C-alpha cells in the first residue's frame, strides 16, 4: 500500500474500533432472499427485517414485468431522463402514483433518499425554516440541511410543539413528517399537523415510505413523497404534488437532473406492483393482521402499521435478543443508534403478507420469552 492508503486504513481502523467499543459496528451478511425467507450460509431463515410488506419483490408477476422490460428497453437508462429522453414507462408509473395520492402530478426519482435530498432544497432556502418531526428519517434531515434553511425539530407527533416551532419568523415554513414512522411503526396525527401548518401558513410534505400499500388513510398534505423500494417491491422514489411544482422539480431538483434514470426493469416492476396493490388490498390487511397477532402475543398495544418495535435499550441487549432469534431461524435485525435515539436500541419487527401465521405466532412466543427473561 502507498503511505496515503496506509494512513486512510489507520484512520478507518481507529473509527471502527471506537464503534466496536459501543457495540455499534455493522456488517453485511450475504443473503439470498425468497418470499418471506432468506438463505444464509446454506441455512433457511424467516426474515422479519424486510420492508417488503406485501411480498411483491418476490411476486412472479412483478418479476416477469421487470424481466420483460429489461428485454424490451435494455438493462440501463443510458443517461439522465432530461438528456437521453424519457422512457415511456415513467409516464405510466407517474400517472399511477398521482392518481393513488390524489395529486395533479408525480415525479419519480432514483430512490426515496434521493427524492427527499432533491425536493426539500427546491422548497426551502436560507431564510426559511424547515421543521421536522424529531424522529424523521435521516434523508429528510439531510435534505433539510442541504437546503440551507434553518432546521428545527418538533417533539414526535406533537402538533402543539410544531405550532410553537412555527411561531419563529421565517420567509417560508416547510414542515416534514412521516405518515408511518420507520422505526416505531406509529402514525403521525396528520389532521392536527395539517391544522398547525394551515394556521402558520406552512407547507406540509409527508414521507409515506412505510404507509404505501399498507395504510389507506386520508392525507391532507399537498406534497407527498415516498419510495417504490418497500411495499412496491421495486426501486425508486417519488414526489406527488401540484403540476407546476412537479415541473419545477424537473428544472431544479439536482438529484433529478444530474443522475441517471432508473433501469427500465425497476419502473416496470413498480408499475406491476402498484396495479397488484390496487387489485389486492387484502395483502396490506394481512400484513397488519400479522402485526396485531404478534403484538397481542407480546402484550404490546395494538399496532398502527406493519412495524412493531421491541425496545431493549442498550445496544448489546438488542444484539443478544437478535442473536437468540437467529439461532431459532428468524432474522430480526437489531436497530441501534444512530438509526434510533441513544438508549432505545430495539428489535424492529416488520410484517409482510408473505409471512405464514405459524411463523408469526412462533416468533411472538420467542420474543415474549425474551421479554419475560429480562423482567426476572
Ligand X SMILES: *Cc1c(COP(=O)(O)O)cnc(C)c1O
Q: State the catalytic residues.
A: 51, 137, 178, 182, 207, 210, 230
Q: How far is the CB of 295 from ligand X (least distance, A)?
A: 20
Residue nearest to ligand X (CB): 112
Contacts to ligand X by CB under 6 A:
111-113, 137, 139, 178, 182, 207, 209-210, 227, 229, 237
* Distance, CA of 146 to CA of 266 (rounded, Å): 27
Residue 339 φ then ψ, to 5°: -65, -35
| 152 versus 184: smaller Cβ distance to ligand X | 184
Total Cβ atoms within 10 A of residue 256: 24
268: nearest Cα among 141, 87, 118, 1:
87
Shortest Å distance, C-beta 111 to ligand X: 3
Smallest distance from ligand X to CB 87, Å: 19
How far apart are CB 180 and ligand X at their closest, in Å? 8
Give, as one character, the DSSP assignment of residue 187.
Answer: B
Alpha helices in the chain (DSSP H): 3-21, 60-73, 81-84, 88-101, 112-123, 138-147, 159-165, 190-200, 243-252, 254-257, 264-279, 282-297, 315-327, 357-375
Q: Which is nearer to ligand X, 124 or 370 (CB)?
A: 124
Q: In the numeric block, which cell numbers belong to residue 140? A: 429528510
Residue 226 Cβ vs ligand X, minimum distance, rounded to whole Å: 8
By beta-carbon proximity to ligand X, the closer residue of 224 and 229 is: 229
What nine digits make up the cell of 123? 422548497
CA 47 vs. chain centroid, Å, equals 17
Can you tell me the distance from the alpha carbon of 201 to that of 131, in angstroms, rounded to the nearest whole number? 13
For ligand X, the closer CB: 37 or 111: 111
How many other β-carbons are positioned within 10 Å of the β-carbon of residue 117? 24
Residue 284 or 364: which CB sits closer to ligand X?
Answer: 284
- Residue 308: DSSP 8-state: E
* Rounded-to-integer distance, Cα 108 and Cα 238, Å: 4
Amino acid at each position: 500500500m502507498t503511505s496515503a492508503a496506509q494512513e486512510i486504513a489507520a484512520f478507518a481502523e481507529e473509527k471502527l474500533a471506537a464503534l466496536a467499543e459501543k457495540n455499534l459496528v455493522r456488517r453485511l451478511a450475504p443473503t439470498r432472499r425468497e418470499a418471506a425467507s432468506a438463505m444464509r450460509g446454506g441455512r433457511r431463515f424467516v426474515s422479519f427485517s424486510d420492508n417488503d410488506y406485501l411480498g411483491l419483490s418476490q411476486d412472479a408477476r412483478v418479476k416477469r414485468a421487470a424481466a420483460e422490460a429489461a428485454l424490451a428497453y435494455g438493462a440501463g437508462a443510458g443517461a439522465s431522463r432530461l438528456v437521453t429522453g424519457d422512457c415511456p414507462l415513467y409516464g405510466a408509473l407517474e400517472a399511477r402514483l398521482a392518481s393513488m395520492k390524489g395529486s395533479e402530478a408525480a415525479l419519480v426519482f432514483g430512490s426515496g433518499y434521493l427524492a427527499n435530498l432533491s425536493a426539500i432544497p427546491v422548497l426551502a432556502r436560507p431564510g426559511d425554516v424547515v421543521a421536522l418531526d424529531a424522529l424523521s428519517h435521516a434523508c429528510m434531515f439531510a435534505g433539510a440541511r442541504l437546503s440551507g434553511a434553518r432546521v428545527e425539530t418538533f417533539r414526535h407527533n406533537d402538533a402543539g410543539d410544531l405550532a410553537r416551532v412555527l411561531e419563529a419568523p421565517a420567509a417560508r415554513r416547510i414542515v416534514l413528517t412521516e405518515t408511518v414512522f420507520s422505526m416505531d411503526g406509529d402514525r403521525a396525527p396528520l389532521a392536527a399537523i395539517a391544522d398547525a401548518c394551515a394556521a402558520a401558513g406552512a407547507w406540509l410534505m409527508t414521507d409515506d415510505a412505510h404507509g404505501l400499500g399498507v395504510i389507506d388513510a386520508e392525507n391532507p398534505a399537498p406534497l407527498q413523497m415516498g419510495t417504490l423500494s418497500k411495499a412496491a417491491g421495486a426501486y425508486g422514489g417519488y414526489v406527488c404534488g401540484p403540476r407546476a411544482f412537479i415541473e419545477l422539480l424537473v428544472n431544479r431538483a439536482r438529484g433529478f437532473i444530474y443522475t441517471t434514470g432508473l433501469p427500465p426493469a425497476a419502473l416496470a416492476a413498480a408499475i406491476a406492483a402498484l396495479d397488484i396493490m390496487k387489485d389486492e388490498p387484502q395483502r396490506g390487511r394481512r400484513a397488519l393482521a400479522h402485526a396485531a397477532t404478534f403484538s397481542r402475543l407480546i402484550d404490546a398495544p395494538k399496532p398502527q402499521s406493519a412495524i412493531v418495535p421491541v425496545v431493549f435499550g442498550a445496544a448489546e441487549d438488542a444484539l443478544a435478543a437478535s442473536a437468540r432469534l437467529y439461532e431459532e431461524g428468524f432474522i430480526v435485525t437489531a436497530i441501534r443508534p444512530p438509526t434510533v435515539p441513544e438508549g432505545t436500541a430495539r428489535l424492529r419487527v416488520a410484517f409482510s403478507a408473505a409471512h405464514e401465521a405459524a411463523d408469526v405466532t412462533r416468533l411472538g412466543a420467542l420474543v415474549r420469552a425474551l421479554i419475560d427473561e429480562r423482567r426476572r
